Structures are given as C-alpha cells and as structure tokens.
C-alpha cells in the first residue's frame, strides 16, 4: 500500500490567494483527518470525516477554511483567502475503525508558507 | 473534556543511555488506546508503540517500552540504548475504544535530542 498521499509537499503563496491541499487516504480506511501543526499550538485537529461525511469541524479556524471529501479516495482542504498566520504544516491522516487498534496513518504533510 | 499532557517540552540524553518521556491523560472512558508517535526532522509521523487500556501488560517494541498506570492515568515511554536516530518530537495520543468518536487526542509533544 502506498500509504496516505498528500500534495503538494510544499506550497508558497501570497496573502489573499486561494490554496488547495489534497489528500488520498489508504484504500479501505473509513476515517480521514486533517491536522495543522505549528510551533505555538502543536498538532491541532481541523476536521474529520467518517465514510466521507464531516463529523466534527469545530477545529476549523474560520470561514476561510473549508474541507470536502467527494469520495472515499480523495479529500481537499481549501483556504480562501490565505493569510500569513495560516503558515503551518498540514497533515492528512486516515484509519480504519476497529482495525489495527485505531492506528492512525499520516501523510508526509504539506508545508504551507503564506507571504 | 479529554486531554493529554506532556509536561516535558524538551529533553536530552546521551547516546546509549536510557530516557523516559512522561504523559498523563484525563478521561472518563474505561476502554481506550494510547499511542506514542515519533516525528523526526523529516516531519513524517511514525507510530512507535500502542497500548490497549484493558491490557495490564506493558507494551514493548524493541528498545521502546511503556509504563502504563491506568489508575494514575499515566503513560510514559522509555527508550533504552538511545540512538542518534531517536532524535525527534514525541507525541502521546489517546482515543476511546468503540463509540462514535474516532479522533485521536494529542499532547503538545516532547522534543528529544540524543547527543553523541
């Protein structure tokens, strides 16, 4: 299995631009998570999906952030418009409930820099 | 609210020595899983070890072992014979077993430096 695949690995953009981060979970996994990691706040859960349905988006910072999961093999996290304070590493992770003892598999992350 | 606390922001250890990273958690659940994840400078999150709360025996994975104290809600990680490649951020995490919640709750992390 290729693991959780995220793209791009690095993204540099200017304030005000739209940014789209992409994630392909492991086949057969029914949960997908988006996390944001910063030095100040550590690892924060933004949103997670179960069977493509958003379950908890209370971690999404504001309306500029949106996430979708149109099918079991793809999810996007969009920031529009982007701001410098959005600079962080964004991780996607997936798991299959009840299998592997709830082990969470992470992608390699997207390093976002908003100038 | 369920929380995970790692009280040591940074630690260092000499190569070949043993180091213990602390983690405490707060939950009213009786059945759950606990994890230690490692994040090296490459930033990839790697599962180090996992413990089921219903098991009294402490989990071990080669040089990594845990001291799980359920009553005290403590879950420390011991790294024996530390190697330079163990240099990383270490995150403790918790998830209830069963039910509707699928999210892992992470601590803030401990930055471990292994010195030659």
Q: What is the pLDDT of residues A1-55, one digit of tens each?
A: 679 999 999 999 999 999 999 999 999 999 999 999 998 888 889 999 999 999 9
A-chain residues within 8 Å CB-CB of B44? 106, 108-109
CA distances (Å), origin B11, targets B18, B39, B49, B89, B106 = 12, 15, 19, 10, 18
Q: How far apart are CA B76 and CA A55, in angstroms?
A: 31
CB of A85 within 8 Å of a chain B CB? The answer is: no
The tokens describing A61, both together, are 């910072």
- Whether residues A106 and B106 touch (CB distance < 8 A) is answered with no
The tokens describing A80, both together, are 């529009």
B-chain residues within 8 Å CB-CB of A42? 106-109
Specify the pLDDT at position A40: 86
CB of B3 within 8 Å of a chain A CB? The answer is: no
CB of B31 within 8 Å of a chain A CB? The answer is: no
How many C-beta atoms lie closer than 10 Å to residue B17's C-beta? 13
CB of A56 within 8 Å of a chain B CB? The answer is: yes
Specify the pLDDT at position B97: 75
- Whether residues A103 and B35 touch (CB distance < 8 A) is answered with yes
Q: How far is B89 from chain A (nearest CA, A)?
A: 11
At A55-73, the pLDDT tens digits run 989 889 889 999 999 999 9
């Amino acid at each position: 299995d290729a693991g959780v695949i995220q793209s791009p690995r690095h993204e540099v953009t200017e304030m005000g631009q739209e940014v789209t981060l992409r994630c392909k979970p492991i086949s057969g996994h029914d949960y997908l998570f988006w996390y944001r990691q910063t030095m100040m706040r550590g690892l924060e859960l933004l949103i997670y999906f179960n069977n493509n349905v958003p379950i908890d988006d209370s971690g999404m910072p504001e309306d500029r952030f949106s996430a979708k999961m149109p099918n079991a093999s793809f999810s996007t996290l969009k920031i529009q418009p982007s701001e410098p304070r959005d600079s962080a590493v964004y991780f996607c992770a997936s798991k299959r409930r009840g299998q592997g003892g709830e082990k969470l598999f992470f992608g390699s992350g997207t390093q976002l820099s908003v100038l | 609210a369920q929380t995970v606390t790692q009280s040591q922001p940074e630690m260092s250890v000499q190569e070949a020595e043993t180091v213990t990273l602390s983690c405490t958690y707060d939950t009213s659940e009786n059945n759950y899983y606990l994890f230690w994840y490692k994040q090296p400078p490459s930033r990839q999150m790697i599962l180090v070890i996992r413990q089921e709360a219903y098991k009294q025996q402490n989990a071990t994975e080669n040089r990594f072992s845990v001291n799980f104290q359920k009553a005290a809600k403590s879950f420390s990680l011991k790294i024996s014979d530390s190697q330079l490649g163990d240099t990383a951020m270490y995150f403790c995490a918790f998830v209830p077993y069963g039910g509707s919640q699928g999210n892992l709750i992470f601590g803030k992390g401990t930055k471990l430096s292994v010195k030659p």
